């Protein structure tokens, strides 16, 4: 685990849970129900990665693969201004790519190798959400095996990029409040555990009162399990 770098989330509590922030050379999965704040964290980290190291960033750029059409330039600008960065510049350093289906999503990640090799200032890849197209296109038990095989391959490619280029990967995974409804679906966290076997860090995000959220570390190999509270404010992710 030598040379791992961290990107601040904007919340000291959440950074603490993560052992200092979102790590490079690793894939971090954020899972939780709708509105829990997965996309907000992805936006915030895409901004924060651009901060200099002394402020919790990597002076890097972000690649944002948006599968649900929820990437918001206005939100990025607001988050940038709030921490004293130039909103226009910050936006220019986030390449957002809309993935329209699983094949497109897979093809984008396959092409990333070349993009990153040409521009090693890319220090973050976001896939928000990594599972939605897969679920929609391969619904039903009879398609589960093929779906898992494709998804696992896709996730392993992301992990490899993280390791080769010393960058952070964040993927999101929407999980219903009642996972029992999805029993038998291995991409759904049953009892808090996503069942696919890809190395990385998994964090569950849960709604609390108002703008408060709870983040829980799940199955981390090198981090203690635990829970912290953070907030989603109009300026971004905060304590
Ligand atoms: P889904 O699974 O549906 O994609 P998600 O986990 O990605 O959900 P987010 O979109 O990240 O959820 O979170 C949405 C929540 O973030 C809103 O319900 C609101 O509470 C908060 N939020 C979003 N924008 C702002 C803002 N500008 N100011 C304050 N809070 C905001
Ligand atoms: Mg979202």
Q: How far does residue 170's CA lie from ligand 2's centre (Å)?
A: 12
Query: Strand 212-218 and strand 226-233: pairing?
Result: antiparallel
Q: Using pLDDT thresholds of 50, 70 and 90, give the confidence band for residue 77.
A: very high
Strand, coil or helix: 173:
strand
Supply the residue whose CA is at minimum distance from atom 14 of ligand 1.
Answer: 35
Supply the residue whose CA is at minimum distance from atom 27 of ligand 1.
Answer: 234
Ligand 1 pocket by C-beta < 6 Å: which residues?
Answer: 32, 34-40, 70, 174, 211, 232-234
Q: What is the pLDDT of residue 139?
A: 84
139 vs 113, more confident: 113
In this structure, of 89-98, 104-113, 185-194, the range with the lowest mean pLDDT score is 185-194
Alpha helices in the chain (DSSP H): 12-17, 38-48, 73-82, 87-92, 102-118, 132-137, 144-165
Site to probe by mutation for ligand 1, drawn from 35, 47, 173 as the one with most ligand atoms within 8 Å of Cβ, is 35
Q: How far does residue 41's CA lie from ligand 1's centre (Å)?
A: 9
Is 0.95 exceeded by the ipTM? yes
Q: Which two tokens stand for residue 69?
A: 């059409």
Q: Which atom of ligand 1 is nearest to the CA of 37?
A: 11
At a CB cut-off of 8 Å and minimum separation 6, what does 201 contact? 18, 23, 26, 27, 28, 29, 217, 220, 223
Residue 176, pLDDT above cutoff 80: no
Using a pLDDT cut of 70, give the percent of the chain over it.
91
The Cα–Cα gap between 181 and 226 comes to 26
| Residue ranges at the known binding site for ATP | 32-39
pTM, 2 dp = 0.94
The mean pLDDT value for 142-165 works out to 92
Q: Are 178 and 34 in contact (CB under 8 A)?
A: no
Tens digit of pLDDT for each residue in 17-48? Answer: 999 999 999 999 999 999 999 999 999 999 99
Strand, coil or helix: 151:
helix
178 vs 180, more confident: 178
Q: Which atom of ligand 1 is nearest to the CA of 211?
A: 20
For residue 152, cis peptide bond before it (omega within 30 degrees of 0): no
The Cα–Cα gap between 44 and 58 comes to 14
The mean pLDDT value for 46-72 works out to 98
Using a pLDDT cut of 90, give the percent of the chain over it.
78
Q: How far does residue 232's CA lie from ligand 1's centre (Å)?
A: 8
Supply the residue whose CA is at minimum distance from atom 28 of ligand 1.
Answer: 234
The mean pLDDT value for 101-124 works out to 97
């Amino acid at each position: 685990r030598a040379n791992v770098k961290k990107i601040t989330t904007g919340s000291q509590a959440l950074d603490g849970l993560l052992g200092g922030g979102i790590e490079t050379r690793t894939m971090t999965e954020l899972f939780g129900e709708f509105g829990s704040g997965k996309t907000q964290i992805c936006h915030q980290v895409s901004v924060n990665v651009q901060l200099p190291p002394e402020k919790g960033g990597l002076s890097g750029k972000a690649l944002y693969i948006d599968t649900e059409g929820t990437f918001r330039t206005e939100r990025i600008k607001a988050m940038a201004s709030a921490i004293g960065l130039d909103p226009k510049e910050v936006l220019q350093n986030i390449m957002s790519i809309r993935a329209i289906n699983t094949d497109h999503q897979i093809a984008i990640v396959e092409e990333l190798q070349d993009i990153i090799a040409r521009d090693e200032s890319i220090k973050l890849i976001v896939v928000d959400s990594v599972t939605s197209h897969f679920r929609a296109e391969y619904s039903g038990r009879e398609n589960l095996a093929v779906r898992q095989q494709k998804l696992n391959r896709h996730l392993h490619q992301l992990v490899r990029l993280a390791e080769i280029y010393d960058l952070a990967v964040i993927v999101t995974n929407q999980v219903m409040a009642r996972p029992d409804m999805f029993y038998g679906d291995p991409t759904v966290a049953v009892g808090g555990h996503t069942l696919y076997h890809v190395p990385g860090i998994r964090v569950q995000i849960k709604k609390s009162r108002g703008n408060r959220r709870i983040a829980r570390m799940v199955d981390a190999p090198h981090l203690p399990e635990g829970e912290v509270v953070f907030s989603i404010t109009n300026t971004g992710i905060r304590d």
